[in-house]
């Protein structure tokens, strides 16, 4: 498989291909960097150690404590490692949680980042940083947190468990779906969103047939890059607001929550912008984009009910309140009663209303 590099903006270098991670030292040298602090979650310590081996004397240290929602306490400990090792860059290998830690360090230091994604979350393509302090998650946007290099090595997503492959893919597809009706969309972002959706619609069934099919894995990573890129370029609406509320205030897992909410949020907005959502029907069949996504998700055995993630039915009222207190642009007007009904259906695992 070729090592194709492709520019998405003047500053970001994007590399695709099997085993591309083994060239990590060359990527550092190209940027005149020589002291990398390697980041990972505790679960992906072996992947971090392998990168340290590939880097040899260019590895300054390994910090494997990245956690979901980028807790500021963890970033502070990581910052002391940055100081101790005198790191001149970070190499983040993992999903959105690890990428988030790298971005949090870059936000504080402006150190260059090389990101090696192992899920489809797409955080590596956005200038957005979400951080949690004292249980409150806030997000900011700053060009400083965009990585310098992204290495999509298909061998790394090969180990992504099938259930997480599906939920992470739906998480990526959600960025593209909401990009289709974003008020600040352009012809370019819409084309890229459709490309991203198509990559998953075609690639995901092949990946599930054979999780070690590297060509199919690479196709889905190209989809993740397209979906992540549009996430960084246009504003998101109902779907992302609901997932942010459910993740931040009820501690529900990120990718699974996206997978469950997506068909419901898109069905809700299809009432107002069915025409903009047409590409989803063209790819998946049917005449309602929400139903089409629901059928696609269930055919992939995706989770469909918030109750299966441990959410209590008694919390649905509070979730509806939280998700509707601050107004934001959305194609279909957001009312508390309608959102409460949407959440009830998503909690029970019903088909979208
Ligand atoms: P994650 O990074 O939390 O990973 C979940 C678990 O899977 C972790 O234990 C991780 O180590 C493990 N894992 C990851 N890849 C693996 C692989 N290939 N094989 C085996 N195990 C693997 O999950 P995520 O869904 O990638 O990221 C979620 C986080 O990213 C959330 O905090 C979310 O807010 C953030 N995010 C941010 C943006 C942004 O633009 N700022 C975009 C998307 C997601």
Distance (Å, whole) CA 144 – CA 163: 33
Number of helical (H) and strand (E) elements in the chain, helices listed first: 14, 9
Q: Is 157 in the pocket of ligand 1 (CB under 6 A)?
A: yes
272 CA to centre of ligand 1 in angstroms: 32
pLDDT band at 8 (very low <50, low <70, confident <90, very high): very low
Q: Is 290 in the pocket of ligand 1 (CB under 6 A)?
A: no
Which residue has the CA at smallest separation from atom 6 of ligand 1?
A: 95
Which residue has the CA at smallest separation from atom 39 of ligand 1?
A: 123
Q: Is 69 in the pocket of ligand 1 (CB under 6 A)?
A: yes
ipTM of the complex: 0.99
pLDDT tops 80 at residue 330: yes
Residues 31-54: tens digit of each pLDDT: 999 999 999 999 999 999 999 999
What is the percent of the chain with per-residue pLDDT over 70, rounded to a whole number?
Answer: 97
Q: Output the pTM of the full model.
A: 0.96
Q: Is 229 in the pocket of ligand 1 (CB under 6 A)?
A: no
Per-residue pLDDT at 11: 77
CATH class of domain segment(s) 162-348: mainly alpha
Q: Kindly report the average pLDDT of the chain as a whole number.
A: 95
Structure tokens at 310: 């441990």
**The length of the chain, given as a count of residues:** 353
- The listed CATH number (3.40.50.1970, 3.20.20.100, 2.60.120.620, 3.40.50.720) that belongs to domain 4-157: 3.40.50.1970
Cα 172 vs. chain centroid, distance in angstroms? 6
pLDDT tops 50 at residue 5: no
pLDDT tops 50 at residue 3: no
Task: Map out the domains of the chain as residue ranges.
Answer: 4-157, 162-348
Burial of 137 (0-12, 13-18, 19+ CB in 10 A): middle
Distance (Å, whole) CA 291 – CA 102: 37
| Distant-in-sequence, close-in-space partners of 99: CB < 8 Å, separation ≥ 6 | 92, 115, 117, 121, 123, 124, 147
Which residue(s) pair with 129 in the sheet? 140
Q: How would you write 219-272 as a 3-class SS string?
A: HHHHHHHHHHHHHHHCCCCHHHHHHHHHHHHHCCCHHHHHHHHHHHHHHHHHHH
Distance (Å, whole) CA 222 – CA 328: 30
């Amino acid at each position: 498989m070729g090592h194709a590099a492709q520019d998405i903006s003047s500053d970001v270098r994007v590399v695709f291909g099997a085993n591309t991670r083994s060239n990590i030292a060359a990527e550092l040298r190209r940027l005149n960097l020589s002291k990398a602090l390697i980041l990972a979650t505790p679960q992906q310590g072996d992947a971090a150690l392998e990168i340290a081996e590939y880097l040899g004397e260019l590895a300054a240290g390994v910090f494997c404590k990245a956690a979901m929602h980028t807790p500021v306490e963890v970033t502070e400990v990581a910052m002391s490692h940055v100081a101790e090792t005198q790191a001149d860059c970070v190499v983040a290998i993992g999903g959105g949680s690890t990428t988030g830690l790298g971005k949090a360090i870059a936000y504080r230091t402006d150190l260059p980042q090389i990101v090696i994604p192992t899920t489809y979350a797409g955080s590596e393509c956005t200038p957005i940083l979400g951080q949690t302090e004292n249980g409150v998650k806030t997000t900011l946007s700053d060009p400083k947190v965009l990585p310098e290099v992204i290495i999509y090595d298909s061998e790394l997503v090969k180990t992504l468990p099938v259930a997480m492959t599906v939920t992470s893919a739906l998480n990526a597809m959600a960025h593209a779906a909401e990009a289709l009706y974003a008020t600040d969309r352009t012809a370019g972002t819409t084309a890229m969103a459709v490309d991203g959706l198509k990559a998953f619609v075609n690639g995901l069934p092949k990946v599930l047939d054979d999780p070690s099919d590297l060509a199919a894995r690479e196709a889905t990573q190209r989809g993740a890059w397209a979906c992540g890129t549009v996430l960084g370029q246009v504003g998101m609406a109902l779907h992302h607001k609901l997932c942010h509320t459910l993740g931040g205030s009820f501690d529900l897992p990120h990718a699974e929550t996206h997978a469950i909410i997506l068909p419901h949020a898109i069905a809700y907005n299809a009432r107002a912008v069915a025409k903009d959502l047409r590409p989803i029907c063209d790819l998946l069949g049917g005449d309602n984009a929400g139903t089409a996504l629901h059928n696609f998700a269930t055919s992939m055995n995706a989770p469909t009910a918030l109750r299966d993630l441990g959410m209590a039915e008694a919390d649905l009222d509070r979730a509806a309140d939280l998700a509707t207190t601050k107004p934001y642009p959305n194609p279909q007007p957001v009312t508390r009663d309608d959102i409460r009904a949407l959440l009830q259906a998503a909690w029970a695992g019903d088909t979208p209303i």
